[in-house]
Chains A and B, each alone.
Chain A
């Protein structure tokens, strides 16, 4: 009997489960290749649980801890939480600790920790970002992470694969963020059914790694367990540039003809900039619907929308222009590394000259944990992933999600503005 054809997700899961093949719907237990935690769901939550169990971590070399949610730590409680992370990594023997270097999902691949075929869990819902590198990576809560830390294993219901196929070529001032908002608009918040989304097609192949990260980052916004892109030459070049192992990674491909749960087709060449109205990413629509809405704040931030590629998009629009006088224009580069590149190449100066207020390389306003929050009735346009009611501040605040291009264009105009106007 010949073996059934398998998707990339199935192949990775089968390998991690010590099996030749797995079928969608099966419940399997997988060995975890890497576990990533941040300061919020990580040490401060798992340390007391480990102590209660009297247990040790299964393998400190397979654990990465990154601080991002409670930085800058400008109150006692935040300082306490960050302190626990610093102390715990020493205690547990975790050497892959990155403190204040940026947002976990952006720092993780930058350090060369991810490569194709890996089975990875992260203590954060946007962990599927790692799927951009051809890994199977998904988010878990703190107690589940504790289970991984103690056993090195996790159960999983083998997902079906949903193929999201983008043909054609993106137009000027249209980006991966617009592709994802369009997907949210079409599928809704639960269209992913906690299955695996694989992105493919000409328009995906043409995207740089960080744009692919944006696609995978937002797979949870349509309710998928993860999103991933099969590795190719772009993946290989990136991995080589960060000194990651596993550059034979292009061998990790799904079988042609492997059964899919659904196949969604999109045409990149007709995609317009998208904006998702409050309070859901699924409220996405072409920008025309919301153009002209007056804004108070324009925020380029988060793992979703403040990587170096995102900062460049904003700079391309801004080049020499200033944000409108009534707008608070805020930029929080997603990592120190990306900020350094932006500084070196002049991108950062363009943002600053446009009136950008620079915030730390952390989750900042996106998480809504700190004091820097949106006020009552404040209207913001942001490059972040989520605009649920009250997430980034007051319940009465209104958050519109858009690409870095659109956020920058709106900052200049003082109202929601089509970035294509700056590329005519």
Chain B
């Protein structure tokens, strides 16, 4: 994975600021343009493909709305790093194929640092400081899904296999 700029946020970044209700009717393009604007107005316009969003505790708290991780992914965010994630958001991010990595040392990443996240190895390299940070491994069954690109492509594979073998149940 290539390196990207770290965008650092605080505790409890919630789904209402990630995916504001006002744009829930709109497509993901429009939604993504307003991602995080209530707390960081320039974010959507400045974030680049391959960048990494870093939070502290309980990143993604709130709603089940999948548009929260989807908007970040749509903007090109390559990975999320936080000391902890809200459970529902964590599931949603991985289901959409967006790596979410739990790192106790997330607080050591400064806004603007260049970082490289390796979810498979459970490691973050901070190219700006030369530090390497250890992360919690993603559970094996979720890592498998992530390698497939998320739950949709994962299910596509399972369905194709089922059709080949003629199994009745997935």
Spell out A's residues near B (CB within 8 Å). Answer: 27, 40-41, 45, 49, 52-55, 69-70, 75, 77-78, 81, 123-125, 127, 138-144, 146-147, 150-151, 153, 155, 157, 189-190, 194, 220, 223, 225, 280, 282, 367-369, 373, 386, 388-392, 395
Q: Is the CB of B65 within 8 A of A40?
A: yes
Q: Is the CB of A280 within 8 A of B16?
A: no
Contact partners of B170 in chain A: CB under 8 A = 150-151, 153
- When A and B form their complex, which 9 residue pairs have the shortest distance between CB atoms, in order from nearest? A194-B87, A368-B21, A190-B58, A141-B66, A141-B92, A391-B16, A388-B16, A77-B25, A125-B64
Contact partners of B151 in chain A: CB under 8 A = 143-144, 146-147
Q: Is the CB of B139 within 8 A of A141?
A: no
Q: Is the CB of A143 within 8 A of B141?
A: no
Q: Known contacts A40-B24, A124-B64, A146-B151; can you find 9 more A-B pairs with CB under 8 A?
A: A41-B66, A138-B88, A144-B91, A144-B92, A146-B152, A225-B88, A282-B12, A373-B22, A388-B17
In B28-61, the 8 Å CB interface with A consists of: 38-39, 57-58, 61
**Nearest Cβ in chain B — how far from A19, in angstroms?**
17
Query: Which of B58, B65, B84 is the one whose CB lies under 8 Å from A141?
Result: B65
Q: Is the CB of B64 within 8 A of A140?
A: yes
B129 within 8 A of A: no
Contact partners of B91 in chain A: CB under 8 A = 140-141, 144
Q: Is the CB of A367 within 8 A of B21?
A: yes
Chain A contact surface mostly: loop
Contact partners of B14 in chain A: CB under 8 A = 388-389
A386, B12: Cα distance in complex, Å: 13
* Cross-chain pairs A/B with CB under 8 angstroms, 10 sampled: A45-B66, A49-B152, A69-B24, A78-B25, A143-B96, A189-B61, A194-B86, A220-B62, A223-B87, A367-B21
**Nearest Cβ in chain B — how far from A49, in angstroms?**
6
Spell out B's residues near A (CB within 8 Å). Answer: 12, 14-17, 20-22, 24-26, 38-39, 57-58, 61-66, 84, 86-88, 91-92, 95-96, 139, 141, 150-152, 155-156, 159, 170
A45, B96: Cα distance in complex, Å: 13
A386, B151: Cα distance in complex, Å: 29
A194, B63: Cα distance in complex, Å: 14
Q: Is the CB of B21 within 8 A of A147?
A: no
A167, B144: Cα distance in complex, Å: 46
A-B contact count (CB 8 A): 125
Q: Is the CB of A125 within 8 A of B16?
A: no
Q: A53-B156, A146-B152 are in contact. Are A389 and B87 (CB under 8 A)?
A: no
The chain B residue sitting closest to A389, CB to CB, is B38
Contact partners of A388 in chain B: CB under 8 A = 14-17, 62
**Nearest Cβ in chain B — how far from A393, in angstroms?**
8
**Nearest Cβ in chain B — how far from A104, in angstroms?**
12
**Nearest Cβ in chain A — how far from B16, in angstroms?**
4
Contact partners of B24 in chain A: CB under 8 A = 40, 69, 367, 369
A54, B92: Cα distance in complex, Å: 22
The chain A residue sitting closest to B139, CB to CB, is A27
Q: Is the CB of B38 within 8 A of A386?
A: no
Contact partners of B39 in chain A: CB under 8 A = 389
**Nearest Cβ in chain A — how far from B13, in angstroms?**
10
Contact partners of A49 in chain B: CB under 8 A = 152
A45, B16: Cα distance in complex, Å: 19
Contact partners of B66 in chain A: CB under 8 A = 41, 45, 141-143
**Nearest Cβ in chain A — how far from B150, in angstroms?**
7
Contact partners of A123 in chain B: CB under 8 A = 64
Contact partners of A125 in chain B: CB under 8 A = 62-64, 88
**Nearest Cβ in chain A — how far from B111, in angstroms?**
20
Contact partners of A70 in chain B: CB under 8 A = 25
The chain B residue sitting closest to A157, CB to CB, is B139
Q: Is the CB of B141 within 8 A of A27?
A: yes
Q: Is the CB of B65 within 8 A of A143?
A: no
Query: Which of A52, A124, A189, A395 is the one whose CB lies under 8 Å from B58?
Result: A189
Contact partners of A138 in chain B: CB under 8 A = 88
The chain B residue sitting closest to A151, CB to CB, is B170
A15, B148: Cα distance in complex, Å: 30
The chain B residue sitting closest to A49, CB to CB, is B152
Residue from B15, B21, B150 whose CB has the most chain A CB atoms within 10 Å = B21
A69, B92: Cα distance in complex, Å: 20
A266, B84: Cα distance in complex, Å: 27
The chain A residue sitting closest to B25, CB to CB, is A77
A124, B15: Cα distance in complex, Å: 12
A44, B152: Cα distance in complex, Å: 16
**Nearest Cβ in chain A — how far from B47, in angstroms?**
19
The chain A residue sitting closest to B37, CB to CB, is A395
Q: Is the CB of B88 within 8 A of A141?
A: yes
